[in-house]
Amino acid sequence: MTSSASGPPSGRPSPPLMPTPNIPQKSPIVKEMAPGTYWWCTCGHSKGQPFCDGSHKGTGFAPRKAEITETKTVAWCACKHTKNGAFCDGSHKSC
């Protein structure tokens, strides 16, 4: 039996493939935000970045809730690879 680069050897099932987000921009979207609840786009297909516009339907993604408790400047992730909720963590430098 030979192994291939496309899956694990010995007949074990492959792990499920994770959907890959679209990358609308490789830098954060910086906005002055009022307090409120916002729905951050995780799929990268929204026309109203960084927020969800419903374009994720059928992609396997869902928007992520972000609570802003006071007026402040927010750096929203636009590469969709952040590990910091909806907020930029610098991941755009390596995706």
Residue numbers at the binding site for ligand FES (CB under 6 A): 41-43, 45-46, 52-56, 61, 63
Least distance from ligand FES to the Cβ atom of residue 48, Å: 8
Assigned token pair, 73:
């400047």
Specify the residue, 41 or 78, whose C-beta has the smaller distance to ligand FES. 41
- What minimum distance in Å lies between the beta carbon of 31 and ligand FES? 17
Phi/psi class of residue 30: alpha, beta or left (left: φ > 0; alpha: ψ in -120 to 50)?
Answer: beta
Residue 32 Cβ vs ligand FES, minimum distance, rounded to whole Å: 22
Nearest residue (CB) to ligand FES, 1 versus 18: 18
Residue pair 55/46 in contact (Cβ under 8 Å)? The answer is yes
Peptide bond before residue 50 is cis, with ω within 30 degrees of 0:
yes
Nearer to ligand FES, 12 or 57 (CB): 57
Number of neighbouring beta carbons within 10 Å of residue 9: 9
